[in-house]
Amino acid sequence: MTTRSDGLLERRLRQLLLPVAVLSGGLVVTGFFFPGFVGSTVSGRGWLVVSLLFFSAGLSYLAVLPSATDQPADGDGRSARYLLRIRHGHLRPLVAPFVARQDPVTFGVPVAVLTAFFAVRLLAPDATTAAIGAAKALAFGDLGWVFLAAMVVAVAYAAFLVVGPWGDVRLGGPDAEPTYTYPTYFALFFTAGIAAGIVFWGPAEALFHYRSPPPYFGAAPQSEVAAVDALAYTLFHWGASAWSAYLVVGVPIAYFVHNRGAPLRVSTLLAPLLGVDRLDGRAGKTVDVLAVFATIGGVGTSIAFVSRQFLTGIDYQWSVSYGLFGPVALVAGLTVIYLIPAQTGVHRGVRRVAGVTVALFGLFVALLLALGPRGFVLDSGVAALGRYAVHFAGMSAHAGGQWVADWTVWNWSWWFSWAPFAGLFLAALSTGRTVRTVVLTAVGATSLATVLWFLVMGGTTLAVQHTGRADVLAAVDAYGGSEAVAGFPVLAALPMSRLLMFLFLALIVVFITTSAAVSTLVVAILGTERGSVPTTGSIAFWGAVQGVVATAVLLVGGGQSLQDLAVLTGGPFAVLSVVALGGLTWTFRRDERGHRSLPGKVRAYLDDRDVTLVPERPDLRDDETD
C-alpha cells in the first residue's frame, strides 16, 4: 500500500506535527522521569491527552515524511507494490467513489454482523455470553483435536518446505526481485503478525503456568521446576507452531497471486479447487467475509485490551483514575495513530513504524537483560529451551482436559483466526522471495524473536516472583485477576524502573499501531470489489470501524465474548489451511518439477569439491588376506 504523495496538505501537516511532537514529548519525558518539576499542575486526564499527542504526532510525522523511492502510478497488477497501493483522492468527492467501489457482500455482511452482535449483547448480555460460551466449549473441547491436528500439519509442512525441493520456487517467477530489503521484510511481518499480544502476555503467561502448572509436566505449583515448565509451555504457545499458522495461509495465497495471477484475497486459498476465475462465487465470498469478521473482531478487541493495559500501568504507577474518559480517549487516540500510517501506506508509514517498533523491542530486551536477574533468566531459559525441544512432539499431541482446551487449543484457534490478515500481508510482501526464504522468515526468524522475548520477559517475571522481590501474583489478584497489570510490578522492582516502564508503555502503542494499520489495509482490500484499489475513504472507514468496535467493547462490554467469537473463526481457517496445502502440493507436483531439495544441494556442493562425508573403506591388500 505504497503511494506517491507529498502535496501541500502533507507538507503543512509535517510543519504542524513536528513542534507538537517535540513539545508534548518534552512534557511527557519531564513528567515521567522528573515528576517533581511538574507536580500536580497537570491532571490525570491531562497526562493522557499529552501522551496521546506525543505518540500520535511523533508516529504520524514519520508516516507523512516523503519517500525517496516512489512507485510508478501504473502497473501490470502483478507486483506486490501494485497490490498494496491506495488510491488517494480529494475529500469532497469521497463518498460516491467509496460506495461504488465496495463489494456489497464482503463489505456489508461483516458490518451487519458486528452491529447485530453489539445490539444483541446490549439487549441480552447473559444469553449472548451463554451462547458463545456453549459454542466455545464445543469447539475447544470436543473438537479441540481439529486445531491440534491442523497445527501439527502446519509445522510439518513448514519443515518440509525448508528441506524439500519446492523451497526453491520463487514467488513472482525466476526473474522477480524483492520489493523490500530483508530487514524491512522481517520487521513488517513480525510487528504486524504479533500485535501487542507479545507485550500483553509477555510477563503474564509464564506466571500463570507457574501458579497452575501444565498437567503435561505435573510439577508442583510455584516451584523451581514449575518455573522451567512454565517457560517451556509459553515458548510452545508462541514459537514455531504459532507462526506456522500464518505461513500455511500465506504461502498458498502468495504462490497463486504472484505465479498464477489470482487476486489478492483470502479466498485465493480455494484457487486450486475452484480455479482463479471462479473465486467470486459463494464459497470465495464466504471465506472473505469470515476473514473480514475475524480481523475486525480480533484486532478491535485487541485495541480495547491493550488500552486497558496501558491505563492499568499508569494507574499502578501513579494511582491515576480516568473513569470512562480514559479508555474511550485512548482508543480514539490510538485510532488516529494507526490511521495515518495506514493512509500513507506500507512503503512509507507502516514501514517506518515497524522499524521503530523493532528498534524499541531490541532496546527493551537488551536493557531488561542487563538490569534484570540475568543468572536466573539464563539458567531457566536454557533449561526451558531444552524442555521445549525435547517435549515439542509430546506437547503438540497432548490432548484432552480443560487446561489444554483453555490454553493450547484456544491459542491455536487464536493464531488461525489472525492467519487471514497476517497470511495475506505475508503474501503481498513476499514477491521475489523463494518459498524457503519465506518459511525461514515467517516461522524461523519470527520464532527466534518471540522466544527471546518470552525467555527474557517471562524469565524476569518468574525470577521476581520466585525470589520474593515483588509479589506479582498478588498484584494480579488485586486487579481482579487481570493479566494486564503483570508487567508493571516486575519493572518497578528493577533498576531504572522509570525508563523500563516508559519503553514498555511505548511498545504497547507501537506494536498495536503496526498491526492495526496493516489489518485496516487488508480489510480495505477485502471489502473493495475485485479489480479496484482501496481508496482513502475505504482506509478511513475500516480503521474507524476497528476503533468503534474497541470503543463498543469498553462501553457495552462483551469484549471477551467478541474475542471468543472472532477466535472461533480459527476453526474454519484451520480446516481451510489443510485443504489449501493439499491443493498447493498438487499444483507443485504438477507444475514445479526440476527443483532440488536442500539435502540434494548439499550433496551436489560436496560432490563438486570432491568431499565425502563417510570415507570409503579401503580394499584389503592381497597379501593381508591370508
pLDDT tens digits for range 270-301: 999 888 888 888 899 999 999 998 888 888 88
| C-alpha radius of gyration, the chain, whole number | 25
Cα–Cα distance, 409 to 148 (Å, whole number): 7
Contacts of 337 (CB under 8 A, 6+ apart): 52, 55, 56, 59, 60, 509, 513
pLDDT tens digits for range 40-70: 555 566 667 777 788 888 888 888 887 765 4
pLDDT greater than 50 at residue 515: yes
With cell 499444483, the residue in question is 587
Do residues 237 and 208 lie in contact, with contact meaning Cβ atoms separated by under 8 Å?
Answer: no
Q: How far, in Å, are 368, 496, 568 from residue 364 at the CA level?
A: 6, 12, 33
pLDDT on residue 91: 47
pLDDT greater than 90 at residue 150: yes
pLDDT greater than 60 at residue 533: yes
User: What pTM value is reported for the model?
Assistant: 0.88
pLDDT tens digits for range 111-148: 888 888 888 888 888 888 888 889 888 888 888 999 99
pLDDT on residue 69: 53
User: Residue 535: beta bridge partners?
Assistant: 87
Reduced to 3 states, what is the DSSP secondary structure of residue 528? Answer: strand
- Hey, what's the torsion of the CAs at 497, 501, 502, 505, to 10 degrees? 170
Span of 199-213, 426-440, 479-493 with lowest mean pLDDT: 479-493
Confidence band for 382, pLDDT divided at 50, 70 and 90: very high
Cα–Cα distance, 41 to 105 (Å, whole number): 52
As a whole-number percent, the residues of the chain with pLDDT over 70 amount to 86
Which backbone phi and psi does 102 adopt, to 5 degrees? -85, 140
Cα–Cα distance, 555 to 577 (Å, whole number): 35
Contacts of 602 (CB under 8 A, 6+ apart): none
Instruction: Tell me the mean pLDDT in the region 484-496.
Output: 91
- Mean pLDDT across the chain: 85
Of the candidates 398, 539, 446, the one whose C-alpha atom is nearest the C-alpha of residue 101 is 539
Reduced to 3 states, what is the DSSP secondary structure of residue 535? Answer: strand
Q: How far, in Å, are 166, 386, 589 from residue 594 at the CA level?
A: 9, 38, 10
pLDDT on residue 258: 94
pLDDT on residue 71: 45
pLDDT greater than 60 at residue 198: yes
Of the candidates 423, 395, 424, the one whose C-alpha atom is nearest the C-alpha of residue 158 is 423
- Quote the DSSP letter at residue 266: G
Q: How far, in Å, are 34, 173, 345, 459 from residue 438 at the CA level?
A: 46, 15, 22, 30
First and final C-alpha spacing in the chain:
80
Of the candidates 478, 396, 359, 318, the one whose C-alpha atom is nearest the C-alpha of residue 150 is 396
Cα–Cα distance, 57 to 21 (Å, whole number): 5
Which backbone phi and psi does 400 adopt, to 5 degrees? 90, 150
Q: Give me the helices (H) in 164-281, please.
A: 182-194, 197-201, 205-211, 224-238, 240-258, 271-274
Cα–Cα distance, 487 to 458 (Å, whole number): 9
Confidence band for 36, pLDDT divided at 50, 70 and 90: low
Confidence band for 165, pLDDT divided at 50, 70 and 90: very high
Reduced to 3 states, what is the DSSP secondary structure of residue 540? Answer: helix
Cα–Cα distance, 260 to 253 (Å, whole number): 10
pLDDT tens digits for range 289-332: 999 988 888 888 888 888 877 888 777 766 766 677 778 888 88
Helix-strand-coil split of the chain, %, nearest 5: 75, 0, 25
Q: How far, in Å, are 20, 200, 340 from residue 52 at the CA level?
A: 11, 19, 14
pLDDT tens digits for range 417-459: 999 999 999 999 999 999 999 999 999 999 999 999 999 999 9
Higher pLDDT among residues 82 and 179, named by residue: 179
pLDDT greater than 90 at residue 251: yes
CATH 1.10.20 describes domain 8-120+142-211+236-392+400-586: no
Confidence band for 369, pLDDT divided at 50, 70 and 90: very high
Instruction: Tell me the mean pLDDT in the region 163-178.
Output: 92
Length of the chain: 626
Instruction: Return contacts of 351-355, CB within 8 angstroms, 24+ apart.
Output: 351/180, 351/184, 351/187, 351/188, 352/62, 352/63, 352/65, 353/59, 353/62, 353/63, 353/191, 353/510, 353/513, 353/514, 353/517, 354/184, 354/187, 354/188, 354/190, 354/191, 354/192, 354/514, 355/184, 355/187
Cα–Cα distance, 431 to 254 (Å, whole number): 8
User: Residue 460: beta bridge partners?
Assistant: none
pLDDT tens digits for range 81-95: 445 665 555 545 556
Do residues 241 and 151 lie in contact, with contact meaning Cβ atoms separated by under 8 Å?
Answer: yes
Question: Where is mean pLDDT largest: 231-235, 284-288, 563-567?
Answer: 231-235
pLDDT on residue 520: 92
pLDDT on residue 498: 84
Burial of 286 (0-12, 13-18, 19+ CB in 10 A): middle
Cα–Cα distance, 570 to 143 (Å, whole number): 12
Span of 133-137, 182-186, 461-465 with lowest mean pLDDT: 133-137
Do residues 404 and 220 lie in contact, with contact meaning Cβ atoms separated by under 8 Å?
Answer: no
Of the candidates 37, 35, 516, the one whose C-alpha atom is nearest the C-alpha of residue 314 is 35
Do residues 496 and 234 lie in contact, with contact meaning Cβ atoms separated by under 8 Å?
Answer: no
